[in-house]
Chains A and B, each alone.
Chain A
Amino acid sequence: MDRSLLRALYEVVGEAGLISDFAGCLPYECDALAIISQRPELVVLPADTEEAARAMAILHAAHIPVVPRGAGTGLAGGATPRADAAVLSVARMKQVFEINAADRCARLGAGVVNAHITEACNHHRLFYAPDPSSQRACTIGGNVGTNAGGPHGLRYGSTTRHILGLVVVAPNGEIIDLSHPQPDPTDLDLVGLFTGSEGMFGVATEVTVSLLPQPAVTETLLAIFSSLDHACDTVSAIIAAHLEPAALEILDALTIRAVEDSVYAAGYPRAAQAVLLVEAEGSEFEVDTTMSAISSLLTEHRCIETRRARDESERTRLWAGRKGAFGAMGRIAPDLFVADVVVPRTRLREMVRRATDICQELGLRMANVFHAGDGNLHPNICFDRRDAEELGRVLQAGEQIMAACLAMGGSLSGEHGIGLEKQANMANQFEAADLSVMERVRGALDPERLLNPGKLLPNRSCLELGDGWLPPTTTGALR
C-alpha cells in the first residue's frame, strides 16, 4: 500500500482508525461466510461521518475500491474484501446521538450494535423491532446494508420498515444527509433504495430508526411436534387463518439436540422431531385472542405438547435456544453453511422436505432452524471445510436448494443478502433486463464502481459459468 496514502489516511483517522499490518488485517478477511476469504491490505475505521467522508475522498482519489463493513456478521460474503480494496468499518461509530421518545425515533452512529438500541431506549418503554439472531454483535449500519430481518420480522417487518433516515457518505466522500424528520420522502425514496443495497451506493454513517412502544403483554409458547411436516403445516395454517403472532420459529430435531447439548440449552425436548416457538405481543386482549386461536390450530395439527413460558426468565431461556442455535451447531461440525431462501408460506413443508432430500442425497447433515412465519428457511449444513470434497458437496447442495426454492416461486434471500455467495444465482431469479436496470442505478450512484465491487450483481463471467461458479478472489479451501 502506498505510504503517502497511508499517511493521508492516518492524518484523518489516527492510529486507532487505521490497520495495515498483516496480523491486524487478518480478522477482516471474511465475514461470517468463512469459506470465502481474502485478507485486505488496509482497514480504515473512521470514528464519525466527517472522518469517513475524508477517508472516502482520499480512497476515491486513489481509485481504491472500498468494502463497507459493520460487525462482519453477514452470512453471504457481503463484507468479504478484495485484494485491491480497503475495508471501511463503521464499528467505531457507536454514538447514540439522540433518543427522541416523543417522536419515537433514535439517531445513531452506524456502528451501534443492534441490541444496544433497545437497551438505550428501554427506560422510555420503547424498543427497536428488527432482531437478527446476531443482534448482540451486528451493527445497525450492517443491518441497513443487508435489510436485516429476524424472528420478529413476522409482525414488525424487516429493517427497511424501521429506517427513517440516513446520513450517507457517497463514493467520492460527499456527505448526503437523508435524515429528514418527515414521515415520507420529499422526492424519491432514497432511504428505501439504500436499505438492502449491500454497501454498493455509499456508506451509511448515521441511521435514524423508528422505535415502537413496548408491548404491554408478551406471551411465548413452545409447541412440540413428532413430525417436522406437522410443524410446517401448522405455520401455514396459522398464516392462512389470518392470525398475527409476533414470531413463528421452527427448530428441527438435529437443531434441538445441538441446542440442548450446548450452553444455550433451553429445555427443548430431545425426543421431539420439531418445536415451534410461538410468540404473541400486544395488548392483553389481543395476545389472549391470538394465542387462543393458535392453540386450537396446534391441536388440529397434531402438536403433542405445548409449554407456555410462565415468566420472563422462562421466555428468555426459550429464546436463548433459538438465538443460540447457530452457535450450538458448532457441536455438530466445525463449519456451518447457513442457507437463506424464501418460499410462499403455502409451500413450507414442501421446501423443507426438498432441502432435506437434497442433503440426504449428498450425504450431508442438515439442521433446520428458520423464520417459518415469513416462509424464510435456513437449511444449515454442518461440515468441515478442511475436507475439500465435503465442501464441494455443501456448495452443490446450496445450489440445488436455491434452484428448488426458485422453482417454487421463491427468492434467493430473505435477510442475509446476496453478497458473493449468491451473486451468480441472481441470473436465475432475475431476467437480464432486471439486472441491467439494477446495474444502471448502481452506475448512477457509483459511476466508477468503487463501492463493494463484485458483489450482488452477477458479472459476465457469472452469467456464462452459471451454477458452480466460485468467486475468483477466494482463498483457502476454495482455491
Chain B
Amino acid sequence: MTTLAASLASLLGPAGNGPNPAGLALPVAAPADEAELLELLAFARSEQLRVIPMGSGTGLTRWRAGTGADFALSTRRLTGVLAFEPDDGTLAARAGTPLHELAELAAGSGHHLSPRLRHAPTASLGGVLSAGRAGPDRLRLGPPRHQLLGTRIALSDGTVAASGGRLVKNVAGFDLHRLHCGSRGTLGIILEACLRLHPAPEVSSRLATRFAGPDQARAAAELVRRGPLRPWALVLEELTGTDGSCTLHLELGGAEQVHAAELAWVRAAMAELNGATLAPASGEELDHWADGAGARLTVTCQNSRLAAVAPLLAELVPGPQVTQPDLSQIHVFGHGPPLTEAERHPLAQRLARQGARITGHARAAEPGAEWSARIRGALDPLSMFAETEAGS
C-alpha cells in the first residue's frame, strides 16, 4: 500500500477505499458522509494533493484521468433520498444515490425521472449530473441541466454552498447549479441535488423500421420531427445492419388515447413514405446509444447540417453511426478506443468547416474560455480538482 493509500485508509477506514472502476491507476477514496468528505478535502489541501471527483465511476469509461491527479474521490457512499414530493413533482437526494433507484422511486408515483440511463444501473445522481450525461428522453424533456432545480456543493476550500432549491420555478440568486452540470467535477463536488419529475407515460411503445441508407432514414426522421408527436426517443443507427442500412428507432408514450393516436399517425406517415413499416422493437439499446457510452467520437452540429456532416464524418472516422436527429448529435461507434486529443485535432478542424464540433474537444481560442477559467479560479483557487480529458 502506498503512503497516500495508507493515509486515505486511515482517514476513511477499509470501506472508504475502492472499488477502482475503469482501472484508474489511482487510489479511490469513498467517504461515508459529508463530514468525512470535508475531512478528505482538508487532507488534500494540507498535502497539496490533486483530486478527481467521481460518482460511482461509470462515466470514467468515457473520461480518461487528467495528469497530475493523486487520488479519486467518489461520492458513491453518500446515498439517500432527502425529499420526495410526488404531488409537487420534485425529488432531492444525496449525490451517490444510484439514479436507477431514484427512477424506481419516481415511477412508483407515476413519475419519470430524467435523464433515463437504463443501461448504466450503477450510475449515481451526482456523477450523471457532473458529466452532463443525457438519455434518449432528452428529446422530449431537455438536457439534464434543465431537470436540475438545485444543488449543494463542496468546494475545495471546504465551503459547502447551495444554489437553486427544491421548487419547479425559482430565480432567486445565480443559477450556479447549472454551472456544475457538465463541469465534470472541476468546480466542486456535488453533495446533493434536486430534480424535477415528469409525468410517466401510461403506456409506451418502441418501434423500428429499416431503411436502405442513412439519407432515407434521415428523411423519415424529419417527417416525425415535423409531425404532431412528442416522442420519448428518436434514434437512427447503423449498428444492427451489415449492409449499410440504417434503422430508425422511435419510442412513443403517453396517456392511452394519446398513445394510440400517435401510433396511428406515425404508422400512416411511414407507410406513405416509401411504404415503410414500423415494427415493434425491444429498444433495449436505445439508452446506451443515445448516451453515446462507448462511442469513439461524438459530433454535434445544427440539424440542418446533419446531411452534410454525417458523410464527411463517415469518411474521416469509418464506423457505424448513431444519430439523434433533433438533438443534432452523431456518435461514431466501431472497433478501437476513443480517439486521442491528438487524433481529434485535425478532425475537429475539418468538421468545423461544416459547422460541426467534436464533443469534449475544446478549441484553444474557445469563446468564453477565459470566463470559464476565471470561474474555476474563483471556486477552486487551489486547483485541487483535476480536469479530466474527454474520451468521446
Q: Give me the interface of A with B, judged by CB distance under 8 Å.
A: 100, 102-104, 146-147, 149, 153, 157-158, 160-161, 170, 176-178, 180-190, 192-193, 195-197, 213, 216, 236, 239-240, 242-244, 282-286, 288-289, 293, 342-346, 371, 374-376, 409-418, 422, 426, 429-431, 433-438, 440-445, 456
- Give the interface segment out of B41-49, B156-164, B243-251: B156-164
Q: Can you show 8 pairs from A to B with CB atoms below 8 A apart?
A: A102-B303, A153-B169, A186-B363, A188-B182, A239-B88, A285-B258, A411-B172, A456-B173
Q: Give me the interface of B with A, judged by CB distance under 8 Å.
A: 85-90, 110-111, 132, 142-143, 145-146, 153, 155, 159-163, 165-176, 178-179, 181-183, 187, 199-200, 226, 228-230, 254-255, 257-258, 260-262, 300-304, 327-329, 355, 357, 359-363, 366-369, 371-372, 374-375, 377-379
Q: What CA separation (Å) do A418 and B357 show in the bound complex?
A: 37
A residues within 8 A CB of B175? 147, 160, 192-193, 195-197
Q: What CA separation (Å) do A149 and B169 show in the bound complex?
A: 9
Shortest CB distance A426–B (Å): 7
Given the known inter-chain contacts A196-B171, A429-B172, please indicate yes or no for A283 contacting B229, CB distance below 8 A: yes
Shortest CB distance A3–B (Å): 34
A residues within 8 A CB of B367? 176-178, 180
A residues within 8 A CB of B187? 188
Q: What CA separation (Å) do A92 and B356 show in the bound complex?
A: 33
Q: B173–A430 contact, CB under 8 A?
A: yes
Q: Which residue of B lies closest to A292 (CB)?
A: B257
Given the known inter-chain contacts A376-B169, A411-B167, please indicate yes or no for A239 contacting B87, CB distance below 8 A: yes
Q: Which of B90, B159, B228, B328 contacts A182 (CB 8 A)?
A: B328
Q: A437–B110 contact, CB under 8 A?
A: no
Q: Which of A183, A185, A187, A283 contacts B261 (CB 8 A)?
A: A283
Q: What CA separation (Å) do A417 and B262 show in the bound complex?
A: 40
A residues within 8 A CB of B369? 187
Q: A433–B146 contact, CB under 8 A?
A: no
Q: A411–B165 contact, CB under 8 A?
A: yes
B residues within 8 A CB of A149? 169, 171
| Shortest beta-carbon contacts, A-B, top 9 | A285-B261, A242-B199, A192-B178, A283-B228, A444-B378, A102-B304, A437-B161, A240-B87, A444-B374
Q: A417–B371 contact, CB under 8 A?
A: no
Shortest CB distance B388–A (Å): 12
Q: Which of A153, A288, A376, A418 contacts B173 (CB 8 A)?
A: A418
Q: What CA separation (Å) do A146 and B159 show in the bound complex?
A: 27
Shortest CB distance A172–B (Å): 11
B residues within 8 A CB of A183? 143, 300, 327-329
Shortest CB distance A343–B (Å): 8
Q: B163–A438 contact, CB under 8 A?
A: yes
Shortest CB distance A208–B (Å): 11
Q: What CA separation (Å) do A410 and B165 show in the bound complex?
A: 8
Q: Which residue of B lies closest to A244 (CB)?
A: B199
Q: B167–A410 contact, CB under 8 A?
A: yes
A residues within 8 A CB of B89? 239, 345
Q: B303–A103 contact, CB under 8 A?
A: yes
A residues within 8 A CB of B374? 444-445
Q: Which of B87, B146, B361, B379 contacts A345 (CB 8 A)?
A: B87
Q: Which of B173, B182, B327, B328 contacts A426 (CB 8 A)?
A: B173
B residues within 8 A CB of A417? 171
Q: What CA separation (Å) do A243 and B369 show in the bound complex?
A: 42
Q: What CA separation (Å) do A192 and B170 show in the bound complex?
A: 14
Q: B304–A100 contact, CB under 8 A?
A: yes
B residues within 8 A CB of A181? 301-302, 355
Q: A413–B171 contact, CB under 8 A?
A: yes
A residues within 8 A CB of B359? 184
Shortest CB distance A187–B (Å): 5
B residues within 8 A CB of A180? 357, 367
Q: Which residue of A lies closest to B148 (CB)?
A: A192
A residues within 8 A CB of B153? 437
Q: What CA separation (Å) do A374 and B38 show in the bound complex?
A: 36
A residues within 8 A CB of B111? 242
Q: A414–B176 contact, CB under 8 A?
A: no
Q: What CA separation (Å) do A282 and B258 show in the bound complex?
A: 11
Q: What CA separation (Å) do A161 and B169 show in the bound complex?
A: 12
Q: A243–B146 contact, CB under 8 A?
A: no
A residues within 8 A CB of B355? 181
A residues within 8 A CB of B230? 282-283, 286
Q: B181–A189 contact, CB under 8 A?
A: yes
Q: Which of B90, B169, B176, B257 contacts A288 (CB 8 A)?
A: B257
Q: Which of A161, A410, A441 contacts B176 (CB 8 A)?
A: A441
